């Protein structure tokens, strides 16, 4: 078996940012491989669809060579592999709550509200329908965060994912200011060292990617 450093396939500021944050929290040894969000070509020139058949990020190449996909699974994998970082609860009920929030973020927010807005092929009606869900879904998670610092008792991979998704409100018609609890939560997390570092790096890469596209 060939052992190597983990590789995270990511696109700047996409949902894969959550995994980068988790890897930074864990101080994991990892290589980050950019994938152009439009052309689905890796920054080192490979056709990403040949690596992940759906060409979705994130994907994490494990040190034994397996390619792990699906953000919620990848985040839990990182948490499990680096227990010292305490990115997931260790008790059974706490783990259930972690999965509950990861599922909520993945389905109700990421795919349910934001994905159709970003999908260039989604009809206007589909985008409007998705956006109509924002009020109830964001109010639901805002109610959870009322009086709490994190989704669970301490910072977890679910916070890394929720932070990432809430950032998308800045480039969609969803106005985060309507949920002061969420706006404050996002701003607090933004100051966290792992997050500040991950965001700054990906923001720079995002700007570079846009500049490249503007030229073509």
- Interaction site with ligand GSH (CB under 6 A): 11, 14-15, 55-57, 70-71, 106, 115
Give the single-character DSSP code of 51. Answer: T
Residue 43's CB is within 10 A of a number of other CB atoms, namely 13
| Beta carbons of 33 and 16 less than 8 angstroms apart | no
What are the DSSP E strand ranges found in the chain?
6-10, 30-34, 59-61, 67-69
Q: How far apart are CA 88 and CA 90, in angstroms?
A: 6
Residue 120: is it exposed, middle or buried by C-beta count within 10 angstroms (0-12/13-18/19+)?
exposed
């Amino acid at each position: 078996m060939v052992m190597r450093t983990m590789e995270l396939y990511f696109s700047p500021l996409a949902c894969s940012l959550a995994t980068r944050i988790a890897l930074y929290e864990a101080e994991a040894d990892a290589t980050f491989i950019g994938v152009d969000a439009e052309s689905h070509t890796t920054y080192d020139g490979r056709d990403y669809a040949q690596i992940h058949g759906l060409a979705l990020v994130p994907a994490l190449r494990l040190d034994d060579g397996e390619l792990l996909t699906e953000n919620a699974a990848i985040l839990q994998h990182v948490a499990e592999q680096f227990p010292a970082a305490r990115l997931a609860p260790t008790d059974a009920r706490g783990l259930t709550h972690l999965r509950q929030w990861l599922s909520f973020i993945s389905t109700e927010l990421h795919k349910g509200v934001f994905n159709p807005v970003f999908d260039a092929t989604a009809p206007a009606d589909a985008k409007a329908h998705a956006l109509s869900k924002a009020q109830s879904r964001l109010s639901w998670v805002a109610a959870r965060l009322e009086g709490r610092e994190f989704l669970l008792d301490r910072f977890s991979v679910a916070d890394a994912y929720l932070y990432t998704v809430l950032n998308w409100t800045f480039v969609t018609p969803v106005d985060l200011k309507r949920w002061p609890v969420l706006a404050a939560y996002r701003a607090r997390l933004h100051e966290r060292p792992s997050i500040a570092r991950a965001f700054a790096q990906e923001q720079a890469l995002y700007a570079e990617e846009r500049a490249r596209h503007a030229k073509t």
